[in-house]
Amino acid sequence: MNLNLTGVHLEITPAIRAYVLAKLDRVNRHFDHVIDVNVVLSVDKLRKKVEANVHVRGKDLHAEAVDPDMYAAIDMLADKLDRQVVKHKEKVTDHRTDEATVDRDAAVPPDGGA
């Protein structure tokens, strides 16, 4: 997983970097095929905003969270991304099982193989 962290009006400290990595590790645990993650942390007066684009095979997922506390915003973002990745994973696995069932049914001759 390639991680790109960007700060807008904010310096990315090692503590924030480690916290984001720890939270995004949960996303990577649920779905192994994460290719690239772009995270943008921005500050506008009292409003902290965290945005993330996750590139997985066949789809790009986007989530954002706004909170007065940066760490709370990162937590909310991680929860949103986790739900989206699990939903995408379920869709991919459901699609594959449907395809496998169709292939098995097509392989059996209509007369029962006799």
Residue closest to 51 by CA, chosen among 61, 62, 68, 64? 64
Give the 3-state secondary structure percentages of the chain, helix then strand then coil, rounded to 5.
Answer: 50, 30, 20
pLDDT band at 106 (very low <50, low <70, confident <90, very high): low
pLDDT value for 42: 96
pLDDT value for 52: 95
pTM for this entry: 0.78
What architecture does CATH give domain 2-107?
2-Layer Sandwich (3.30)
Helices (H), 1-114: 14-30, 70-107
Task: List 51's β-bridge partners, or say none.
Answer: 40, 64
| C-alpha–C-alpha distance, residues 101 and 6, integer Å | 45
pLDDT tens digits for range 42-68? 999 999 999 999 998 888 999 999 999
